[in-house]
Structures are given as structure tokens and as C-alpha cells.
Structure 1
Amino acid sequence: MTLSVISYGGGVQSTAMLVLAAQGHILIDAALFANVGDDSEHPATLRYVRDVAEPWATKHGLALHVLDRVKRDGTTETLWQRLTRPGSRSLPIPVRMSNGAPGTRSCTADFKIRVIGKWLRAHGASAAAPATVNIGISVDEIHRANTRRVEPHEHIVYPLLDLRMRRTDCARLIAAAGLPVPPKSACWFCPYHRPSVWATMRAEEPALFNRACHLEDLLNARRAALGKDAVYLTRFGRPLRDVVDPGVQLLPLLPADTDSGCDSGWCMT
């Protein structure tokens, strides 16, 4: 029998898939949450996964596994650790260059795709018998669906597209199942955040916002020492603390981002 799993991100679409699995509409062996780190995932997502999704899945006979990135020496690595490691030149997140364009990234591949892939191979998935991986992309985000990064041991499917479900449909399904609707999942320092997300973070989670500003400062201090141009966590070519002005509602008037930029579907679901 072919292994079938949900790539569970802790957000609206993947939680809707969890509900669909409990209702028998999606047949799965497990839901897999690739945790990029307790210091990297947004705290609200971690709370939802651990306090809501895991016990609900268990109650409904579903296995939900939280997976960490484990290096060859047996130690666990988080995305935050990789970014802030002393002497590191690594830029695994899609920081914005001086022209606003996102740089290359390895965060999704290293901390999501490969972590889940390792679990799949350990449980029998192979090129000869690829596992079915259910990705939570809804109709209103159909532009994010692609199969360019499919690995030999996996077969990607999009059940929400097959069911013609939009994000609002997913939220209604979750609420009807008696679950709170989860927040949008992402690393709290992700450069693909919309301006409104940064504005909300500064207003409601100032300590987390300040940590993001300090991360931007750290990355640029390293780049300056190497004689390289500055990079930013937004597309506006200015430090985050200057883009999000406290007490002045500027960001809602800025053009809204219509695309998260993360088109693989492994993040922000």
C-alpha cells in the first residue's frame, strides 16, 4: 500500500486537510509537521499545533508527527540557529536585496522538504514506491501549485484544488469541526510577510518585532564586514523598524502583496 501523508504546516489550509482526513475524504497514514524550530516558527503556530491540532488528531485516530531537522551528528538544528550562528555567512531565508527582489533561499528545502523526505524514506517511500504527499493549496492560491521540486520518493497532490475549496471554505470547515481557525503559519521573521503582518506584529507582539529588527541588523553587520550590500526583511529597501513606523498607520496604505512568493506550498499553509 502506498504511503500517504499530509504536509501539515499548522495553518488554515493544512488544518482543513486534517479535518478532511478525519472525515474520510482524504486517506492518510500520518500528518507531518516539519518544525523549523521553537525559536523560528511563529509562537502562535506552535501553540496551535501542540495545544489544538495534536490532541484533536489523536482523538480522531490520526497520527500527527512533529519533526525536527536532525543533523548527521545527531544534534537538532533550527533555522534561527543557522541564521545567527557566530561567523556564519549563510542566508537561508529569502531576504530582499537592495532592489526589493528576494534572494535565493534554502529554508524550505532544508527545514521542510528534506525533513519530511527523511521521514518518508525511513517509512518505506522510494522512487519505486513514492509516497503521496498532500499539499494544502486552495483555489485562491492556485498559482502556488507546482511540481518543479518533486523528489523521487514523493508524489505531490492538491486535494483542496480537487475539491475546489477556497481559504474561506477551509476556515468554515475547521470551525464546523469545532476547532478554532488557526493563524496563518510562517516563520515569524519570514521576508515574505505582507506589510500588514509586520504592522500587526509591531503593534501586538513588539518583542518579536524587535527580534526581527535585530536579526536584520545582524545580517547587515556581517554583510558590511564582507563589503556586500545591505539586505532587508521587506521589499522597500529600508530597515524594518523604519518601514513600520510606530503609531502611524502607513502600511495599510501601501500596495498589498498578492503573492507570498513561496510558491512550493510547503510553507504558509
Structure 2
Amino acid sequence: MQSTALLVLAATGRIDYPVFLFANVGADSEEPATLSYLERYAKPYAATHGIALHELHRIRRDGSTETLYGRLTRPQSRSLPIPVRMSSGAPGTRSCTADFKIKIMGRWLKAHGASPTTPARVGIGISLDEIHRVNNRRAMPYEQPVYPLLDHQPPLRRTDCERIIAAAGLPVPGNSACWFCPLHRRMYWAELRRDRPDMFERSCQLEDLLNERRARLGRDPVWLTARNRPLRTLDAAQETLPGFEPDADDGSCDNGACFT
């Protein structure tokens, strides 16, 4: 949503950003609607207005592409790069954003001249209603993060982003995230089970796979929600209303590389 609003602002000359980056964690990992929107709307719109929109991937040394889902499901893998919920309910260590978003974009920036002495000005799509995600201390040495939606006068909220996108004749996109991300709210899982049961079942199977491996290693189970029980046992009828979820994480990624 916010990144697409920035694309429209750049295309209409209201901000000066000739290059946009999208780090794709994998066609098997990203929310399918995000990838569809990228191909059907974002890329053609950017091209029409002379903006370079680069889709980046994690490339191994042998030239093959690694995906986040592929890393999670690789035979004999012990890697848990996503912030699964531990037995205590707390999220585990997350390396997915760093490995599949930040580092990938960093490589591109450095390959195109960014350095500690000449840092790239990187506009991050964080709106006023999520200002708590701003944290300059996490900036990489080769970048200078700025927040065009916050610097706008007046600062722009999510609803403003919706208006800007619609005024450009584009459909308003949904949130971007991996479909199996443990930072999703419970309402997401309820809607996924209702609207896309096949993808919900894939999420359940991924959780099962991770716990089968942990059981063989003698470790406690992990979960894709903070309810500390298998995803498939959650009762959709008991899901709380959006905004009233005491244990919900807002999916915050204060470097702005994910969930924007």
C-alpha cells in the first residue's frame, strides 16, 4: 500500500525517486496477490512513467535462486529463519528479512555506487499511522533512510495512500508479506482458511514439518501463531475483531524492508 503510493507520488513528480526496489523472497513464498499486483499494475505503471522498478532475488554462488520457503523445507534443514512462536509464546529469532530483503537490496545499492562515504538515499514507505516502525539506528552504512510519507506536508496516513493510489487509476493493493509469516494477525489466518483453504492447509503442513524436525532433535514445538497450539486447531468462530487482538504483532519491521 505505502510503497505503491510512493510509486504514484514519484510518477507524478511529487517526490524524486527514479528507482524502486522489490526484493522477492520467492514465488513460492510471497503473498500471491502481491506478485500478481507487481506484474499487472506496478511494473507497467512504473515503465509508463519512466521509473525503473527492479525485482531482486537471493542468488546463490552457483547462480540458482534461493527462496525462503525453499530454505524452510529443504531436506535435513534445521534453519528457522522466520519468527515462529516458541513454547513461551514469544517470537523466535528472525533472519528472513535480513537474508532475503535487506542484504539483497544492499547488494544492489552497493553495486550501483552506494558506500559509507556516498550513501544511497533510500525512501521507506512508512506512513504516519505506523510511525513506531521508524528506527534510524538500524540503517546500513551504505544508506541514508528517509521517510517521504512522513516528510510530506501534511504527513500521510494509510487512508491517504489509498486515496493517492485510487486517484491514479490503480487498484488499491493489500498488505505484502509471506503467506506463512508468523507475524500475521489471527484474523488473517481465519480469512485464509475461509477464502483460500488450500493455502491454509499448506501453512498447517509447513508448521507440521517444522515440528516433526524439532521433535527428532528433542526440541519444543513451535507455532505460526501466538496461541501455542497447531494452526489447524484454531477456531475461526472465536477469532477476535481486527484491532482487538491482545497478543497480535503488527508485523513490524522497523527497517521498512518487509510489510510495506
Normalising by structure 1, report the TM-score.
0.92
Q: Which secondary structure does the structure 1 equivalent of 2:240 belong to?
A: helix
Count of residue pairs brought into register by the alignment = 255
Q: Deviations over 1:212-269 (max 9, x none)?
A: 00000000001111111110000110111112x3xx5211358423632433321111
1:264 partnered with 2:243: no
Cα distance between partner residues in 1 of 2:52 and 2:255 = 24
Who is 2:199 aligned against?
Answer: 208
Alignment of 1:104-253 (within 5 A): 104-163=93-152, 164-243=155-234, 245=235, 248-252=236-240
Cα distance between partner residues in 2 of 1:233 and 1:39 = 17
Q: How many angstroms does 1:61 deviate by?
A: 1.0
Matched-pair contact (CA < 8 Å) for 1:95–1:191: yes
Who is 1:56 aligned against?
Answer: 45
Q: Which secondary structure does the structure 2 equivalent of 1:86 belong to?
A: coil
Who is 1:8 aligned against?
Answer: none
Who is 1:98 aligned against?
Answer: 87
Matched-pair contact (CA < 8 Å) for 2:139–2:255: no
Q: Which secondary structure does the structure 2 equivalent of 1:32 belong to?
A: strand
Letter in 2 for 1:186: A
Matched-pair contact (CA < 8 Å) for 1:45–1:185: yes
Letter in 2 for 1:123: H
Cα distance between partner residues in 2 of 1:148 and 1:251 = 36
Residues 137 and 253 of structure 1: CA distance in aligned 2, closer, same or farther (over 3 Å):
closer
Cα distance between partner residues in 2 of 1:67 and 1:27 = 21
After TM superposition, the runs of 4+ consecutive aligned structure 1 residues lying more than 4 A away are: none
Cα distance between partner residues in 1 of 2:240 and 2:37 = 27
Letter in 2 for 1:173: I
Matched-pair contact (CA < 8 Å) for 2:187–2:241: no
1:88 partnered with 2:77: yes
Who is 1:41 aligned against?
Answer: 30
Task: Tell me which moved more, 249-258 or 129-138.
Answer: 249-258
Who is 1:29 aligned against?
Answer: 18
Q: How many angstroms does 1:188 deviate by?
A: 0.3
Matched-pair contact (CA < 8 Å) for 1:234–1:240: yes
Q: How many angstroms does 1:88 deviate by?
A: 0.5
Q: Deviations over 1:117-161 (max 9, x none)?
A: 111111111111111111111000000111232111111111111
Q: How many angstroms does 1:23 deviate by?
A: 1.4
Cα distance between partner residues in 2 of 1:262 and 1:100 = 19
Who is 1:18 aligned against?
Answer: 7
Matched-pair contact (CA < 8 Å) for 1:192–1:262: no
Q: How many angstroms does 1:25 deviate by?
A: 1.9
Cα distance between partner residues in 2 of 1:157 and 1:264 = 11
1:77 partnered with 2:81: no
Letter in 1 for 2:10: A
Q: Which secondary structure does the structure 1 equivalent of 2:54 belong to?
A: strand
Q: Which secondary structure does the structure 1 equivalent of 2:202 belong to?
A: helix
Cα distance between partner residues in 2 of 1:41 and 1:258 = 19
Matched-pair contact (CA < 8 Å) for 1:199–1:251: yes
Q: Which secondary structure does the structure 2 equivalent of 1:232 belong to?
A: coil
Normalising by structure 2, report the TM-score.
0.95
Over the matched positions of the two proteins, sequence identity in percent amounts to: 63
Q: Structure 1: where are the runs of 5+ without partners?
A: 1-11
Cα distance between partner residues in 1 of 2:252 and 2:14 = 29
